Amino acid sequence: MSGDAIWPVLTVAEAEAMLTAPGEPWEMREEIIAGRLQRTYVNTPRDMRRIVDDSRAYGAREFLVFEGERITFEEHWRAVQAFGRVLAGRFGVAKGDRVAVAMRNYPEWSVCAFACMAIGAIFVPLNAWETGAMLRRMIATSGAKVVVVDRERQERLSDGRCGAACITVRADGGQDSFESLVGPVQGWGALPDVPAPDRSLEPDDPLAISFTSGTTGTSKGALTTHRMALTNLVNTQYRVARAARRRGEPWPPASDDAGGRQTVLLPLPLFHVTGLHSALVPALVRGNRLVLMYRWSIEEALALIEREAVNILILVPTLVVQLLQRLPAGGTKGLESVHTVTYGGSPASSDLAAGVCSRFPGAAPAQGYGATETSSLVASNSHEDLLERPDSVGTPVPCCDVRIVDDDGHLVPRGAAGELWVRGPQVFSGYWGLEDETRQVLSDGWYRTGDIVRMDEEGFLYVLDRKKDIVIRGGENVYCAEVEAAIARMDGVVECAVFGLPDAVMGEIVAAAVVVRKGSTLTGYNLHQILSAQLPGFKVPERIDITCSPLPRNATGKVVKRELREAMAAQAAKQEVSKEPHGNGGAGG
């Protein structure tokens, strides 16, 4: 961070021009992709096969840490090649065949992923927390030839056929277990030095089918290419480079260890685009050590940070909030190694950045914004820029074109609200097997994000709401994010969600589900009164539920507002809706 130095030394535009100049890390060129001329990075790796093979150069350096297991880059490479040979030889997996994986963040997850991608198969990471019925639906939708599952997922699939050959991991063993086909973790270093089949991969070959989070309906499989994922790899380091240039520091840093080879704590699921594209792939390429967690635990996370001297935390806002509530101002002993706390995947309150600096002295906050359909990053913000603009998700990454448009697709003036459209080499080409759904979100290469945003004069984006979640009350647009931010600032509030409920008179009314700390005296009436003094009347929630129970979230940390809306609508149907706000009187009793 800049300390007492004059900041910024460069404008955002000057820093970007410097970093994208010829010979610089983000130098760009024009290429024809899917019949369209697009800007791509000169330094984007060609395909996943190459980065897997290049990772072998790190040799005995530790790559994955999971509980008592420590896997080096060499051991990981040998296991990837062994599993690639198994897929191609024993199971007949050819280029373009689909291989699905559903398991916890075991080291085998990484081996399966890179083996599939290295031999030209299409990797299908499944949401491991889904029901057996939903897992079978995603396996069938993708047409997976093979599915790899751990014990829990094996049990969920046991009540019906999934239509794919099944390989088990850390289950009961057997001839089709990973342990039998490849070997246990402790034996990976002794595996043969024999490469898996090379299928002559191209940058625009399919790489993965990643299913969307499904907070508003049935999830869809977004098709990712090698170019898309590896463009995101280049994007992941841009925000820290820009921060350095804005601070007047060189990039890359003079010290190699300062620019990479970090220890990263990842409690997020690997099946999410953040876990796969913005954590696992960069760790493999940069020689980072990735510390995995079986499940999230604040105490375990703090112990791992101290024991493994973790430098970078990759979280969702919910986990950041939990850490901030657990840690005192100034932090505690054992956190000194942390220099970056990054978060994304769901809306973040504006006080998180300052909270990170308070609890992790010397660390910088960082935020990413993107989607499954964009292979992760569209925009990013960090360091002084994030502290200066805590409500902003940052500026678009250099190779990404953006438009902010009205309902008719016309550009809105700078500073006005509109839907964000993005285009670039990291944007997907469609949903697997769903042409109609693809046409609804793609137009001439532009992806319609469904997010309502505005852009300030320097190009920083501010996400106001999801287009589909805007509450239209009597013809007035209510941006839920604005109301949520006002509620989040209240003492005792842990988290909240604002959404619309159908209303015969107004069309929709504003509703809020608010989670407070145990013992809080905040009531629906109190909250309504406070908001009435801060917001126009039409934005103040007319139905308010106060609870101590966490909000429903999917595996990526996003609040599932659909469940809240359905529950509150069902409750409202049982009682006559009063003109006064409804609350349960507080969380204390």
What is the pTM for the complete model shown? 0.85
Euclidean distance between CA atoms 168 and 62, whole angstroms: 25
pLDDT at 34: 87
Whether 582 is covered by a domain: the verdict is: no
Residue 255 and residue 178 share a domain: no
Domain hosting 493: range is: 470-573
Residue 156 and residue 78 share a domain: yes
Among candidates 16, 39, 226, 211, which has minimal Cα distance to 120?
A: 226
CATH classification of the domain holding 179: 3.40.50.980
pLDDT in tens, 334-380: 999 999 999 987 778 788 999 999 999 989 999 999 999 999 899 99
Amino acid at 94: A
CATH classification of the domain holding 252: 3.40.50.12780
SS3 524: helix
**In what helix (H) or strand (E) does residue 83 lie, and over which residues does it extend?**
helix 73-89
Where a domain ends, among 173, 201, 229? Answer: 201
Among candidates 486, 420, 477, 405, which has minimal Cα distance to 453?
A: 420
SS3 309: coil
Whether 579 is covered by a domain: the verdict is: no
- How many Å separate Cα 285 from the centre of its chain? 19
Tell me whether residue 133 is exposed, middle or buried, using C-beta atoms within 10 angstroms of its C-beta: 0 to 12, 13 to 18, 19 or more. Answer: exposed
pLDDT at 577: 44
Judge contact between 412 and 452, C-beta under 8 A. no
Residue 477 and residue 448 share a domain: no
Residue 53 and residue 32 share a domain: no
Euclidean distance between CA atoms 157 and 100, whole angstroms: 13
pLDDT at 554: 75
Residue 147 and residue 125 share a domain: yes
Pairing of strands 461-466, 471-473: unpaired
Among candidates 279, 372, 274, 360, which has minimal Cα distance to 316?
A: 274
Whether 125 is covered by a domain: the verdict is: yes
Residue 268 and residue 324 share a domain: yes
Residue 346 and residue 249 share a domain: yes
Q: Phi, psi (5° rounding) for residue 535?
A: -125, 155
Among candidates 223, 213, 275, which has minimal Cα distance to 98?
A: 223
Judge contact between 546 and 584, C-beta under 8 A. yes
Judge contact between 205 and 33, C-beta under 8 A. no
Judge contact between 95 and 121, C-beta under 8 A. yes
Token digits of residue 176: 């089709």
Residue 516 and residue 537 share a domain: yes
Residue 170 and residue 268 share a domain: no
Whether 67 is covered by a domain: the verdict is: no
Whether 365 is covered by a domain: the verdict is: yes
CA–CA distance from 247 to each of 8, 11, 328 (Å)? 6, 10, 29
> How confident is the chain (589 residues) per 10-residue block, as mean pLDDT?
75 97 97 93 97 97 97 98 98 98 98 98 93 90 97 88 91 90 97 97 97 67 97 96 95 64 94 94 97 95 97 91 92 95 84 94 94 94 96 96 95 96 96 95 94 95 82 79 89 92 81 93 93 89 94 79 89 62 42
pLDDT at 5: 66
pLDDT at 321: 85
Euclidean distance between CA atoms 78 and 84, whole angstroms: 10
Where a domain ends, among 201, 231, 247? Answer: 201
- How many Å separate Cα 320 from the centre of its chain? 14
Whether 332 is covered by a domain: the verdict is: yes
Nearest 10 degrees: CA dihedral of 83, 84, 87, 88?
A: -150
Residue 460 and residue 492 share a domain: no
- Alpha-carbon Rg of the chain, whole angstroms? 24
Amino acid at 212: T
Pairing of strands 36-41, 28-33: antiparallel
Euclidean distance between CA atoms 524 and 545, whole angstroms: 7
Q: Phi, psi (5° rounding) for residue 349?
A: -70, 155
Token digits of residue 323: 């850490």
pLDDT at 470: 80
> How would DSSP label each residue in 418-466?
EEEEEESTTS---BTT-HHHHHHHEETTEEEEEEEEEE-TT--EEEEEE
Phi/psi-derived region of residue 248, left when phi > 0, alpha when psi is between -120 and 50, beta in every other case = left
- What sign for the dihedral angle of Cα 291, 293, 294, 300? positive
Pairing of strands 446-455, 461-466: antiparallel
Residue 460 and residue 477 share a domain: no
Among candidates 387, 382, 393, 495, which has minimal Cα distance to 453?
A: 393
CATH classification of the domain holding 515: 3.30.300.30
Whether 194 is covered by a domain: the verdict is: yes
Euclidean distance between CA atoms 345 and 9, whole angstroms: 31
Residue 403 and residue 288 share a domain: yes
Half-sphere exposure of residue 268, counting CA atoms within 13 Å on the CB side? 29
pLDDT at 579: 46
560 Cβ contact partners less than 8 Å away, ≥ 6 residues apart: 215, 551, 552, 553, 554
Where a domain ends, among 147, 174, 201? Answer: 201
Amino acid at 136: R
pLDDT at 1: 60
Whether 242 is covered by a domain: the verdict is: yes
- What sign for the dihedral angle of Cα 286, 292, 297, 301? negative
Provide the domain count of the chain: 3
Q: Is the peptide bond before 8 cis (omega within 30 degrees of 0)?
A: yes
239 Cβ contact partners less than 8 Å away, ≥ 6 residues apart: 366, 368, 380, 381, 382, 383, 394
